[in-house]
Structure 1
């Protein structure tokens, strides 16, 4: 019985030492498992956000007809020097960018 108690004390002492070493490692290294999980999750969230953004952005801008745009411009300023060719050129520039 005395021998078993000594073995149990020795085992408890060894466990306590291992526990202390584990705590030291954890204090020194932090929780790498949690950091890895976070790092693995970030790209998934970025991809999900990117997909949502791409779905919400129109692929082609819709511009009014040049004549309608010229009429709107002239309605704002009666003495506008722009003509239909100017408006068509501006719309072409916008569509190409």
Structure 2
């Protein structure tokens, strides 16, 4: 009988530890869910405020600006068009 009571006491203590751990994990899950909601809200706000399309000058205008700043530049209009295509 004493052995059975001792075993029940050990199981009870173990069960209490599991309940405490489960409670801590539940709280952690709630905190992570809250962080996720905030991150999603921030993401939506950032999406709405971010520009959707970048506005670039015409390739010929960019080439003229480049040639004005760097007289010996070997870039041509095709190079500038390709670069703008990569940036878009």
Query: 1:34 & 1:46 partners in 2: Cα distance?
Result: 18
Secondary structure class of the residue paired with 1:43? helix
TM-score normalised by the chain length of structure 1: 0.57
Give, in angstroms, the shift of residue 88 of structure 1.
Answer: 1.6
Distance 1:68 1:37, change over 3 A: same
Flag structure 1 segments of 5+ consecutive residues without an equivalent.
1-20
**Correspondence 1:1-97 to 2 at 5 A:** 28-29=20-21, 31-32=24-25, 34-95=27-88
What is the RMSD of the two structures over their aligned residues, measured on CA atoms? 2.6
Match of 1:14 in 2: none
CA–CA separation in structure 2 for the residues paired with 1:31 and 1:82:
63
Q: Does the C-alpha gap of structure 1 residues 37 and 85 become closer, same or farther in structure 2, counting only changes over 3 Å?
A: closer
- Higher normalized contact order (CA 8 Å, seq sep 6+, divided by chain length): 2
After superposition, give the CA deviation of every residue in 1:21-76 in whole Å (9 maximum; x if it has no partner).
8xx65x94354553343133122111101112212222212111111101110111
